[in-house]
A and B are shown apart, each in its own frame.
Chain A
Amino acid sequence: MTAFEPKIITFLCNWCSYGAADLAGVSRFQYPTNMRIIRVPCSGRISPKMILHAIRNGADGVWVSGCHPGDCHYLEGNYYARRKFALLKQLLEYTGLEPGRLQFSWISSAEGVKFADVACRVIDEIKQLGPATHLIKTLVEVA
């Protein structure tokens, strides 16, 4: 049997973390290929619905990354996001999501090295957890 390869949905903010992913790629930094990147305008755009939607459709993990506090392109989007993320992560882990399935980071567009490093660690942690079993939709969806 082949080793478990998780599928991880990664939300990256357009201005920092997506740039960091770009830089990591251009710089030929190596990291595993378990991520599916979705570009969002700002980490403040992330709604809990999106994260739950990813999980319910079978993602083994979700990783959200934005600009460092103080560096938000929209000045304060990530400050609001930080409160949302804190409450959401605590609520989801309280209701039975394994700690580690939901990951957050701040990565600036100059931090290609950090991006590759965090990507490796996020993927590794989710690999350790094994395939997701909680909050996954199994019935076929109609209409």
Chain B
Amino acid sequence: MNSRAQLINQTIKQISKKILEQGRVDGVIGFRQGSCGYMTEPYMAKTSEAADALIFDCNCRMNLVTYLTHRTDRAGTDKVGIVVKGCDSRNLVTHIIENKIKRDQLYIIGVPCTGLADKNALIAAAGTNILSIEDDGKTLFITTETGTKKIPKADVLQSNCRTCIRKNPVIYDELAGPLVAELEIKARFSDVDKIEAMAAVEKQALFDGLLSECIRCYACRNACPLCYCPTCFVDESRPQWVGKTCEAVDVATYHILRAFHDAGRCTDCGACEAACPLDIKMRIFTRKTIKDCVENYGWEAGMDEKLRPALDHFRLNDPQAFIR
């Protein structure tokens, strides 16, 4: 039905089988179909046969770079194949810069990405139980119990994909498909600008409302490739920087500090929002740090292996109008 998706799927399988058979990697981290039609799950293929399960489509919302940290098997010497989208590849660059993994331990299968589908938008568009989804880059064919629906992909894109600055992988060993054109984005941070223009009380009300549902399950933290500290600040107890309750101040402190830890490192991959069981739009925090890094320091995370991240670097003439 759709050649581009088939080509990408076949190529991912072919490359994975090749590198597994040649013994160039111990395993390939990729996606396989999940239990729902609109979900995929992370999957480590360790044999050539297992690689048949690997797929890629608009439901690959997770950032697999998360699974490169906390490796215990021969960590430091093992070789891993990994399937990455444009944003994920920027996280790979960040991992290499931060010495979490060495470039020569990786075999990177890059996927030029045409955007991911928002799972709630998909469910709303389908109207009923989704059995499977095919993605040809521009159109989605949603198969439900009542037949197949055809909808333009642009209608159900995740919001981070609408302001994506890097659809093609930054680093890769092999590509799984032809490169795609990068977006031309106007008013990239219009959502952040809108909040910045508000008065302090309005902002407080907005963020209180945004976070009121949060149950502090930390799914956003666990989905995030940047969150790899051995002891997270939320788990520190002496001193206890963040309270354990769901009181508004504790929840806000968690989200503010998490965003700050990701400052200059976040690639806006959207894995945090996709993982949230309560659909909290916490990217509005990280997007502010992205905007500030772009505007103050001209910094985009994960675009170059040779550059130090924004907070591990300084210039003598950095802006300091706010300091007396």
Instruction: Determine whether A86 belongs to the interface, using a CB cutoff of 8 Å to chain B.
Output: yes
Chain A window 45-75, contacts with chain B (Cβ cutoff 8 Å), 1 for yes, 0 for no: 0001100110010000000000001100000
Are B200 and A52 touching (Cβ within 8 A)? no
Are A91 and B324 touching (Cβ within 8 A)? no
Main secondary structure of the interface of B (DSSP, over half): helix
Instruction: Determine whether B67 belongs to the interface, using a CB cutoff of 8 Å to chain A.
Output: no
Q: Given the complex, which residues of A lie within 8 Å of B310, measured CB to CB?
A: 83
Interface residues on B, range: 35 or more
A91-B292, A94-B196, A137-B250 known; A83 vs B323 contact (CB < 8 Å): no
Are B292 and A90 touching (Cβ within 8 A)? yes
Which residues from 56 to 94 on chain B have a C-beta closer than 8 Å to any C-beta of chain A? none
Are A49 and B243 touching (Cβ within 8 A)? no
Q: Given the complex, which residues of B lie within 8 Å of A95, measured CB to CB?
A: 203-204, 207, 252, 256, 285
Are A83 and B256 touching (Cβ within 8 A)? no
A-B contact count (CB 8 A): 116
Chain B window 103-126, contacts with chain A (Cβ cutoff 8 Å), 1 for yes, 0 for no: 000000000000000000000000
Q: Given the complex, which residues of A lie within 8 Å of B264, measured CB to CB?
A: 87
Are B319 and A49 touching (Cβ within 8 A)? no
Which residues from 268 to 285 on chain B have a C-beta closer than 8 Å to any C-beta of chain A? 285
Number of residues of chain A lying within 8 A (CB) of chain B: 42
Distance between A130 CB and nearest chain B CB, rounded to angstroms: 12
Instruction: Determine whether B35 belongs to the interface, using a CB cutoff of 8 Å to chain A.
Output: no
Contact of B200 among A82, A89, A98, A139 (CB under 8 A): A98
Contact of B296 among A86, A92, A93, A94 (CB under 8 A): A86
CA distance A76 to B297 in the complex (A): 17
Q: Given the complex, which residues of B lie within 8 Å of A76, measured CB to CB?
A: 314
Which residues of A pack against B, CB within 8 Å? Answer: 48-49, 52-53, 56, 69-70, 76, 79-80, 82-99, 103-106, 118, 121, 134-139, 141, 143
Which residues of B pack against A, CB within 8 Å? Answer: 192, 195-196, 200-201, 203-204, 206-207, 233, 237, 239-241, 243-245, 247, 249-250, 252-253, 256-257, 259-260, 263-264, 285, 288-289, 292-293, 296-297, 310-314, 316, 318-320, 322-324
